[in-house]
């Protein structure tokens, strides 16, 4: 991975500028033209590595996206002191259109989408690539584009289940030149249709032979499961989740307590960030691990107490008076030998089992749902009794297990939105909330479109801004 990134840094640094950056710079002056990038498969693959590197940046999935998704929830909190003012507006649900927490992920996401579009458009012209190699490269880029679109839609648009015809993100599927016409927001439904199309293509082309640092067939299937779950297409969500975890073994208890800093037996896709190519302090382990970094993330005691005392995952929480006498420290995300060096497990099999469980429960297949749920619960607590509830009781237990199993991995925010759940934050939190989907304040669970986009995009007006902003 490091060698490939080094090739990228030498060969295609500054590949292309995002559609949003066209407004900041009249014309991209550091972009390499197609005749340089698509002269060989090696150069095109290097450009693809460059897109992966952007995916791992702190502005997107290396930090902002996953950490905001848990701070916009009720289980984890930001320490009220010594937080260096990082993510305070996110935790307060007070992100405004001109704040970096909206603009940076938006800009970074569209930069990645633009680069993926360039690869999709340029790959067929590669003179030294076979048809199979071209198709594989295009499929990988389409999965990456879908991955980013799904993240952006979950953050910047209402949930599909709430209103599929609401304004979503801007659907950009071709390389947009700096002087091209601006594009409007598409509906949430249209965006999901594109996401599904890209992922189905990736599933049909990609193999299972890729390392977890690259998008392969299992990753495409896992992302399909996520997208179908958002859409409440329960049968497809279940089927794709089962295919995604097929042949994978859940990580051992020892691996669970090892720090979540490198891929393991259940990893489907992982995102590497290293001291060489990212800001070492702007990384997940920097904010979560109790020492060496910002170390400002904590767990709410009510959430910690929701675990059975015999659940091995309780060892991921720790009290240390000389660090923080008032809150639980979190030991889930460790540095790999040095600050900011780790590989974030972005998709893993446990999530797929829980998608299967939720989908089966929603379909009324309660025994199958209980079985899938038991697999996850039994792994961390071998003495647990299988849950025997049905109906909404079973669905609630599965959603609670998602909170326990996936905390800190970036799911809680979207789980609240996609299920239209009430948001009640109390306990240890220094910013508390209590509102439901029918309350005016619910709009805060959707970020605003960045003001820079509204101001610069000629087909958008303030009326195109999200509700409440």
- Is there a domain that residue 108 lies in? yes
Beta strands at 317-320 and 324-330: parallel, antiparallel or unpaired: antiparallel
- Confidence (pLDDT) at 1: 31
CA pair distance 91, 431, nearest whole angstrom: 8
Q: Using alpha carbons only, what angle is made at residue 160 by residues 109 and 61, rounded to the nearest 5 degrees? A: 25
Which of the residues in the chain have pLDDT under 70?
1-35, 275, 277
Residue carrying the six token digits 């033209």: 33
- Confidence (pLDDT) at 417: 98
- Is there a domain that residue 97 lies in? yes
- Confidence (pLDDT) at 342: 87
Residue from 206, 230, 234 nearest 219 by CA: 206
Question: Which CATH number fits the domain that encloses residue 66?
Answer: 1.25.40.390
- Confidence (pLDDT) at 3: 34
- Confidence (pLDDT) at 7: 33
- Is there a domain that residue 271 lies in? yes
- Is there a domain that residue 469 lies in? no
CA pair distance 139, 141, nearest whole angstrom: 5
- Is there a domain that residue 334 lies in? yes
- Confidence (pLDDT) at 304: 98
Parent domain of 78 = 2-464
Number of structural domains (the chain) is: 1
Structure tokens at 132: 């199979």
- Confidence (pLDDT) at 9: 38
The answer to whether 71 and 295 have CB atoms below 8 angstroms apart is no
- Is there a domain that residue 435 lies in? yes
- Is there a domain that residue 246 lies in? yes
- Confidence (pLDDT) at 15: 43
């Amino acid at each position: 991975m490091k060698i490939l990134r080094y090739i990228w840094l030498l060969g295609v640094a500054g590949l292309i500028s995002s559609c949003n950056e066209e407004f900041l710079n009249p014309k991209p002056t550091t972009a390499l033209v197609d005749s340089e990038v698509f002269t060989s498969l090696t150069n095109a693959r290097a450009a693809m590595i460059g897109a992966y590197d952007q995916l791992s940046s702190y502005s997107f999935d290396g930090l902002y996206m996953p950490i905001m998704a848990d701070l916009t929830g009720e289980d984890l909190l930001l320490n009220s002191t010594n937080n260096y003012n990082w993510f305070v507006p996110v935790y307060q649900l007070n992100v405004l259109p001109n704040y970096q927490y909206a603009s940076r992920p938006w800009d970074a996401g569209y930069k990645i989408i633009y680069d993926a579009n360039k690869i999709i458009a340029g790959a067929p012209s590669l003179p030294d690539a076979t048809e199979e190699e071209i198709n594989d490269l295009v499929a990988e880029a389409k999965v990456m584009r879908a991955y980013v679109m799904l993240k952006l839609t979950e953050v910047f648009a209402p949930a599909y289940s709430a209103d599929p015809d609401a304004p979503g993100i801007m659907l950009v599927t071709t390389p947009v030149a700096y002087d091209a016409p601006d594009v409007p927001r598409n509906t949430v439904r249209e965006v999901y249709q594109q996401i599904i199309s890209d992922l189905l293509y990736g599933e049909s082309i990609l193999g299972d032979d890729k390392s977890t640092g690259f998008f392969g067939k299992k990753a495409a299937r896992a992302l399909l499961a996520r997208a179908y779950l958002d859409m409440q297409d329960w049968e497809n969500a279940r089927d794709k989740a089962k295919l995604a975890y097929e042949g994978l073994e859940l990580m051992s208890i020892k691996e669970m307590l090892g720090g979540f800093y490198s891929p393991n037996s259940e990893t489907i896709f992982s995102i590497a960030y290293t001291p060489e190519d990212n800001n070492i302090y702007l990384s997940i382990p920097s904010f979560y691990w109790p020492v060496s970094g910002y170390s400002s993330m904590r767990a709410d005691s009510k959430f910690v107490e929701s675990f059975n005392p015999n659940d091995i995952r309780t060892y991921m929480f720790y009290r240390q008076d000389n660090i923080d006498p008032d809150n639980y420290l979190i030991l889930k995300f460790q540095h790999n030998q040095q600050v900011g060096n780790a590989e974030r497990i972005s998709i893993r099999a446990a999530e797929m089992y829980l998608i299967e469980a939720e989908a089966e429960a929603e379909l009324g297949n309660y025994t199958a749902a209980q079985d899938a749920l038991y697999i996850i619960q039994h792994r961390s607590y071998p003495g647990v009794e299988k849950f025997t509830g049905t109906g909404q009781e079973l669905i609630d237990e599965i959603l609670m297990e998602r909170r326990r199993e996936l905390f800190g991995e970036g799911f809680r925010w979207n789980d609240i939105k996609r299920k239209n759940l009430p948001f009640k934050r109390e306990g240890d939190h220094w910013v508390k909330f209590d509102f439901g989907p029918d309350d005016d304040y619910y709009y805060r669970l959707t970020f605003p479109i960045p003001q820079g986009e509204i101001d610069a995009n000629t087909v958008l007006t303030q009326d195109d801004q999200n509700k409440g902003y």
